[in-house]
Amino acid sequence: MLFKNLKILYTIIILTLPITFQYSSVVPGISLGELFLVGVVFLCLIYMMLSKQKIKPISFLKNPFFWLVIYIIFISLISGMIQDTFSLTTVSTRIIRFVFYTICAIIISSQFFDFTYGIKIYKRFVILATSFLMVQIILYHSTGFILQGTIPGANMVNDFSYDRIQESLSRFYRPMSFFTEPGYYARYVLPFLAFCLFSSKLHAKYRTDMGKAIFITIGLFLSGSGQGILLGIFLWAGYFITKGVDISTFRIRIRYLIGGLALPIISFFILQFDHIQRSLDRLWGGPMASSNLRVYRGFAVYEQFPLLEKFIGVGYGNSGNYIEAHGIYTQYDFPGMPEYMNSVAYILTGTGIIGLLILLWTFVFMYKKQKVFIRRLL
């Protein structure tokens, strides 16, 4: 009974982490969601010790995530010894956080994340978030009232606040559901959209849920999230292609191909709406577009590193200090955000090409683990 309750608690905390992570906790530097996660992980570890569950060292050592953590710690120590722009506090904090999440992914989730229960709860959260987003946009366009999904007066991370969000929405309104940005809403619901479209390939007990898929897609378009809209269109295109063409038998299903041909036409008309156009302009328009900042900036910074730093990096979590101390500038810089870049570029600048190769090894490892599902999908 205790094991079952721990699985339920851990699963709920993981699925609500994108929302609770937005709020500060009583512990400096740790979000409310992380505080909840630390607490439940502590209980899970105690249960594992009391029940004498063993971790197989061979399988653990074969996991590339383990070697990525070891390398990050090692190379960060080396960078600290050879650099004069190394922040031990910043790097140590981020390494501890990275190690903690790796432990959650490799050890705790394998034992305590209940996938079947998680799908049921995740579905309810996604439907609730999308329904609330629709209420927000209806209220705004009917009465002009801005309904926020964040808690008034609550302390938030990254300098967000209820009043600041309210002021931003008064200039350019985009519904955000329970999140601080439309993009965060999109990232939360997109995996469930993929599940609705492709779950029948995963297991016979799941079926394609077209109704919920359409409902979530409407939410993505209403949110005005550029990345959410484009990735949503990509998922639908993948659905029509995989359903329309059976590679094993070379059979073509005409009705799915017709749907696939209609997709770009429907998308074209939807993308003409003003708030969607403005969102796409923010994503793609000009050197300061968010896509340029996320995609290109990190690699532009990496190009200016000396040869040694290109191989070993400047220390995980130390990129911002290094960039400022060495006066590295690019055309994609954003004031006050020296570390603003995508995750791959962040690993590349922090751990060098060696760290990136280990990261690619983890991707190959995960692909092999899921190859049965992927083959069914293709």
Q: Which of 38-42, 94-98, 119-123, 241-245 has the lowest mean pLDDT?
A: 241-245
Task: Calculate helix-pair angle for 64-82, 88-103, nearest 10 degrees.
Answer: 180
Q: Is the pLDDT of residue 224 over 70?
A: yes
55-63: long-range contacts at Cβ-Cβ below 8 A with a sequence spacing of 24 or more?
55/107, 60/106, 63/106, 63/365
Average pLDDT of the chain is 79
Determine whether 348 is exposed, middle or buried from the number of CB atoms within 10 Å of its CB (0-12, 13-18, 19+). Answer: buried
Collapse the DSSP code of 248 into the 3-class scheme (helix H, G, I; strand E, B; otherwise coil) and give the result.
coil
Contacts of 13 (CB under 8 A, 6+ apart): 20, 33, 36, 37, 40
| Range among 17-21, 179-183, 314-318, 358-362 rated most confident | 17-21
Tens digits of residue pLDDT in 244-280: 666 656 666 666 667 667 777 777 776 666 666 666 6
Q: What is the DSSP string of 232-275?
A: HHHHHHHHHHHHHEETTTTEE-HHHHHHHHHHHHHHHHHTTSHH
71, pLDDT greater than 80: yes
Q: How many CA atoms lie within 13 A of 266 on its CB side?
A: 14
The pLDDT score that the predictor gives to residue 8 is 92
- Structural contact between residues 373 and 201, judged by C-beta atoms closer than 8 angstroms: yes
Rounded-to-integer distance, Cα 332 and Cα 287, Å: 6
| Lowest model confidence (mean pLDDT) among 247-256, 335-344, 346-355 | 247-256
Quote the CA–CA distance of 343 and 298 in Å, as a whole number.
Answer: 9
To the nearest 10°, report the CA torsion of 333, 335, 339, 342.
-50
> Length of the chain, please?
378
Number of neighbouring beta carbons within 10 Å of residue 328: 18
Cβ atoms of residues 111 and 5 within 8 Å: no
Q: What radius of gyration do the chain's Cα atoms show? A: 23
Higher pLDDT, 180 or 317: 180
8 Å CB contact between 130 and 216: yes
Q: Tokens at residue 2, please? A: 């205790």
What is the DSSP-derived secondary structure letter of residue 251? E
- Residues contacting 189, CB < 8 A, separation 6+: 126, 129, 130, 216, 219, 220, 228
In this structure, what token pair is assigned to residue 190? 């997109």
Q: 3-state class of 31 per DSSP? A: strand
Angle CA(41)–CA(43)–CA(48) in degrees, nearest 5? 90
